[in-house]
Structure 1
């Protein structure tokens, strides 16, 4: 199994969706926002993730663009707040992961995202 450890885990292996509910439980997530894109939805992976949640309440943002924009992050953050989510699950590749990281910042910090980009001089 390949695993990348940041502040959160990124699981990369066949059958990783089977670990979705245990991972949510491990991190105290009771209502995740699933962040993905239209291609992942069309491929049926979103439906498989929802089934793997085994009845856990969730919300979905499936409009992640190829290079996530602040507008996309803000739209996902609005769903996170409206649906009272308490965690994030990115389904797909780098764009979904980047969008979810942006949402994590947007729901816990004020101001434009570039304020927090170290490449822009943020903290």
Structure 2
């Protein structure tokens, strides 16, 4: 398995999604907001991530645009706060990751 350590830890390899619940447990996330986009959802990748999180109370924001906007971040923050989320999981590519970064800032500052 390949790892990138920066401000956070990134794991990538075929099947790495099976580590998702353990990673949430490791850092204390019990109510994640999963951030993704309509294409990832349509491809079934979102469902794979959700299936890897049994027993957790998961909220989903699946409307990330290809270039995340302030409006998308604000909409996701509303879900984050309304559902009492305590962490973020970005599923997809750079757009979901960028949107999640915006949500992390807006939800806490």
| Band of TM-score, shorter chain | over 0.9
CA distances 1:58-105 after superposition (whole Å, capped 9, x unpaired): 000000011101110111111000000000000000000000000000
* CA distance in structure 1 between the partners assigned to 2:66 and 2:2 by the alignment: 24
Stretches of structure 2 that go unaligned for 5 or more consecutive residues are none
Equivalent residues in 2 for 1:1-123, closer than 5 Å: 1-109=1-109
RMSD: 0.9
| Greater C-alpha radius of gyration | 1
Shift in Å, 1:16? 1.2
Deviating 4+ runs (over 3 angstroms)? none
* CA distance in structure 2 between the partners assigned to 1:40 and 1:26 by the alignment: 26
* CA distance in structure 2 between the partners assigned to 1:104 and 1:4 by the alignment: 20
Aligned residue pairs, count: 109
Normalised to the residue count of structure 2, the TM-score between the two structures is 0.95
Normalised to the residue count of structure 1, the TM-score between the two structures is 0.85
Shift in Å, 1:12? 1.7
